[in-house]
Each structure stands twice: as structure tokens, then as C-alpha cells.
């Protein structure tokens, strides 16, 4: 049980990626991945639904209108709908209905696959795979445009920025209905510097974060003037990474004071309280979050875990059910729900979606 609880509470911990240079991914040889010329000529797969095609055009416009010249064009259709038959000269947005998991996490909403020259960093191909195998997009609250803007950022070599609550490169819980369509300083400055001759660097605290110089990143944030909610969110996120939990709690509280309408800061505060084992405060923070943002499924799942720990089974079941209703692939909630209710639909959910690693198969068998 304990494994499951930590899985639920900290499922959104930032992943460790190769260190980027000025915010852009590098090869193993340390060179920056880049396109030889812009715009990157994109194609859409012939089975891309019309509304996704429209959202793709809007996402491309967001990128193109931000720079002196267009960074993407969309001129062709790819004949195959099978990403495994992709031609390297076609940079395609695929609507994937099978074998999405063969490229990595089967529960990612989307993924960008790139191939590049290891020595020069020159990109040969990049394709975006939209996961319609695990997700029924028409039944979810996902904003396809936000997801596409994020993936197009990867296509340009941008990295995840999990310490931001604004950047389009954060891995948002998109099924909650989160919309992020505006490029942040990070995206703008990284691309302007790489492709348009700007000598302005990405924000120094973000660069320090990417270099894993967390002490410096925090110092830069603390020393900055006119601090906003995002600045405190970033500080708190880095403090959580470095296990300065009580500092993180203070930072998130300051962030919420400046902006009470950002669900990410409220959720982060609940995470920090949980980590500090201040479960009553975690619970009241989650309840406040869910009152304002009823579809924030991670909040429902975490609330369910706390209610379960308190022995309040019926409330826990209700919270966990809500998480799965909003995000049907939420397998940790499915596992707990099957243990609590023995209902076969939750078993089917975790059998289908839970990763087949050792810790979870142990958890699986202990309950069945
Ligand atoms: Zn991503």
C-alpha cells in the first residue's frame, strides 16, 4: 500500500532529462539539436480529425507569430496513417490508433520523436504522435491546441520546464482542462537566440535550473525584483526538489497570495504539505483547489489517498472515482478502487494501463 501512496502523491515529480544548452536539447556529443533551415515543413496524417487539423493550424500560428520569420509551415498530407511507416523527409503529425506504447510511456497524451546527427546536432526528422489509442479525445477536457503547442516546442528542441506554471513546456495535467497557449520567456528567448541572432539568454534562473545549479537558481529568484506568483512557484518547485519542504510551503503560500487563480500553485502547496506529513493542511488545500477547479483530477486522487489513510473509505472511494472519471487512464486510482470496491471495471483499467514493472505487479497480486 505504501508504494501506491507515494506513487499517487508524487506522480508529477519532474523527470530528469539530458542537460540542455540555453534551454535546447543537446546530443550525447553535447551539440545543440537544430534544424538547418526554417520553417520546418510539417505534414498532417490523412486520418487527423478536422478539429485537430484546425487546432494544429492555430498552434502553428502561435509559434509563427512570435518570431521575425515563420518557424513552421503546414503544406502537405502524409499518405500513411502508420507512424512506423514514416518517411524521414516528412515531418508528420500522426493520429495514432495503435502501438503508441512502442515508443515509450503508453499513457502520454502525445510524444515527439526526433532523429538528428549525433555530432553536428542537425535534425533530420521529427514527428508528433497524438495518442488516440489510450485516450478518447472527444470525451476528455484536453485542449488539443495547448498539447500541440507543447509538442511543436519539442520539435524545435525545447525541454520540459516543470518548475514553471505558465510555460507551454510544463507537462500539464491536460485532462483537467488546462489551457496554455501563450509562449513564455523561456520559449521565446531560446528560439530567438538559436535561430534569429538574438544575444539575449534565457532567464538566468531557468538556465541555472537546467544546469541543476539549484542553489543559484533559488538565489537568483530571491534576488529578483517585482516578484510574481510564477517566480514563487519556481522557487517552491526547486525547494521541493531539494527537500527544503518548509521553505517550499512558504514560497507556494506567497505565490497563492499574489495569484489565487492558478491551480498549479495550490496543488503544489498540497504536495508540499503531504511531503511534510501535514495531512490536514494538505487536505484543506486540496479541497480549496477542487472547489475552484473541480476537474483537477490529480487533486481528487491525492485527496482520496489522504481520506483512505484517515480510514474514511466512502469519501476516499468518491474522490478516487472522480479522478478516474476525469482521467480514465489514472491507474493508481484504479488500483486503489479495485482493492476497495472489487469492481471489475477498475481491474480492467489497471490491467490495461498500469506499467508492468515489478513494484506494481507486486501491488497487483497482493490485492487479487
Ligand atoms: Zn513534453
Query: Which are the contacts of 19, defined by CB distance < 8 A and separation ≥ 6?
Result: 26, 210, 211, 212
Question: What pLDDT shows up at residue 356?
Answer: 77
Residue 360 has pLDDT above 70, yes or no: no
Pick the residue with more confidence: 14 or 253? Answer: 253
Ligand 1 midpoint to CA 156 (Å): 12
> Are the C-beta atoms of 130 and 110 separated by less than 8 Å?
yes
Superfamily of domain 40-164+178-202: Collagenase (Catalytic Domain) (3.40.390.10)
Question: What pLDDT shows up at residue 5?
Answer: 36
Ligand 1 midpoint to CA 69 (Å): 24
Q: If you average pLDDT over residues 333-346, what whole number do you get? A: 97
Question: Looking at the DSSP assignment, which residues form a beta bridge with residue 113?
Answer: 127
Distance of CA 185 to the CA centre of its chain: 18
Please say whether the structural domain 2-11+212-367 has been given the CATH code 3.10.20.30.
no
Residue ranges of domains in the chain? 2-11+212-367, 40-164+178-202
Residue 297 has pLDDT above 70, yes or no: yes
Q: If you average pLDDT over residues 346-367, what whole number do you get? A: 65
Query: Which are the contacts of 336, defined by CB distance < 8 A and separation ≥ 6?
Result: 4, 8, 304, 305, 308, 316, 320
Summarize the chain as % helix, strand, coil (round to 5). Answer: 50, 10, 40
pLDDT tens digits for range 248-274: 999 999 999 999 999 999 999 999 999
SS3 state at 94 = strand
Q: How many residues does the chain have?
A: 368
| Per-residue pLDDT band at 357 (split at 50, 70, 90) | low
pLDDT tens digits for range 189-230: 999 999 999 999 999 999 999 999 999 999 999 999 999 999
Question: What pLDDT shows up at residue 19?
Answer: 72
| Per-residue pLDDT band at 10 (split at 50, 70, 90) | very low
> Are the C-beta atoms of 130 and 96 separated by less than 8 Å?
yes
Matching residue, cell 539575449 = 200
Cα four-point dihedral sign 318, 285, 255, 292: positive
Ligand 1 midpoint to CA 4 (Å): 25
Task: Name the least confident of 8-22, 38-52, 150-164.
Answer: 8-22
| Per-residue pLDDT band at 20 (split at 50, 70, 90) | confident
Ligand 1 midpoint to CA 244 (Å): 26
Ligand 1 midpoint to CA 111 (Å): 7
SS3 state at 265 = helix
Ligand 1 midpoint to CA 169 (Å): 6
Burial class (CB in 10 A: 0-12, 13-18, 19+), 359: exposed
C-alpha–C-alpha distance, residues 156 and 138, integer Å:
28
Q: What is the mean pLDDT of the chain?
A: 91
Ligand 1 midpoint to CA 149 (Å): 10
Pick the residue with more confidence: 15 or 289? Answer: 289
Question: What pLDDT shows up at residue 6?
Answer: 32
Q: If you average pLDDT over residues 151-169, what whole number do you get? A: 97
**Maximum Cα–Cα distance for the chain, whole Å?**
60
C-alpha–C-alpha distance, residues 336 and 352, integer Å:
15
Ligand 1 midpoint to CA 148 (Å): 10
pLDDT tens digits for range 113-135: 999 999 999 999 999 999 999 99
Question: What pLDDT shows up at residue 265?
Answer: 98
Q: What is the pTM of this model?
A: 0.91
Amino acid at each position: 500500500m505504501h508504494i501506491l501512496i507515494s506513487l499517487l502523491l508524487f506522480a508529477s515529480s519532474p523527470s530528469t532529462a539530458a542537460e540542455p544548452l540555453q534551454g535546447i536539447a543537446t546530443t550525447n556529443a553535447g551539440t545543440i539539436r537544430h534544424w538547418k533551415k526554417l520553417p520546418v515543413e510539417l505534414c498532417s496524417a490523412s486520418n487527423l480529425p478536422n478539429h485537430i487539423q484546425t487546432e494544429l493550424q492555430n498552434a502553428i500560428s502561435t509559434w509563427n507569430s512570435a518570431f521575425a520569420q515563420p518557424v513552421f509551415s503546414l503544406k502537405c498530407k502524409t499518405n500513411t496513417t502508420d507512424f512506423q511507416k514514416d518517411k524521414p523527409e516528412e515531418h508528420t503529425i500522426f493520429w495514432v490508433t495503435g502501438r503508441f506504447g512502442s515508443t515509450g510511456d503508453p499513457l502520454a497524451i502525445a510524444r515527439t520523436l526526433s532523429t538528428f546527427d549525433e555530432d553536428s546536432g542537425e535534425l533530420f526528422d521529427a514527428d508528433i504522435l497524438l495518442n488516440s489509442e489510450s485516450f478518447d479525445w472527444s470525451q476528455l477536457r484536453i485542449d488539443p491546441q495547448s498539447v500541440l503547442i507543447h509538442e511543436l516546442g519539442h520539435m524545435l528542441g525545447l525541454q520540459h520546464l516543470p518548475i514553471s506554471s505558465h510555460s507551454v513546456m510544463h507537462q500539464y495535467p491536460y485532462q483537467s482542462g488546462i489551457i496554455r497557449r501563450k509562449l513564455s520567456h523561456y520559449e521565446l528567448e531560446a528560439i530567438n537566440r538559436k535561430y534569429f541572432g538574438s544575444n539575449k539568454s534565457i532567464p538566468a534562473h531557468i538556465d541555472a535550473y537546467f544546469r541543476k545549479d539549484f542553489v543559484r537558481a533559488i538565489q537568483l529568484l530571491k534576488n529578483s525584483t517585482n516578484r510574481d506568483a510564477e517566480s514563487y512557484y519556481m522557487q517552491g518547485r526547486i525547494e521541493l526538489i531539494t527537500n527544503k519542504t518548509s521553505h517550499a510551503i512558504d514560497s507556494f503560500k506567497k505565490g497563492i497570495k499574489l495569484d489565487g487563480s492558478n491551480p498549479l500553485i495550490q496543488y503544489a502547496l498540497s504536495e508540499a504539505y503531504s511531503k511534510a506529513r501535514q495531512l490536514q493542511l494538505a487536505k484543506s488545500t486540496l479541497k480549496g483547489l477542487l472547489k475552484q477547479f473541480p476537474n483537477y483530477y490529480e487533486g481528487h486522487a491525492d485527496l482520496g489517498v489522504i481520506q483512505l489513510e484517515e480510514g474514511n473509505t466512502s469519501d476516499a472511494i468518491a474522490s478516487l472515482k472522480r479522478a478516474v472519471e476525469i482521467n480514465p487512464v489514472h491507474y493508481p486510482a484504479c488500483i486503489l478502487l479495485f482493492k476497495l470496491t472489487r469492481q471489475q471495471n477498475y481491474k480492467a483499467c489497471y490491467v490495461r494501463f498500469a506499467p508492468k514493472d515489478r513494484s506494481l505487479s507486486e501491488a497487483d497480486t497482493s490485492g487479487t
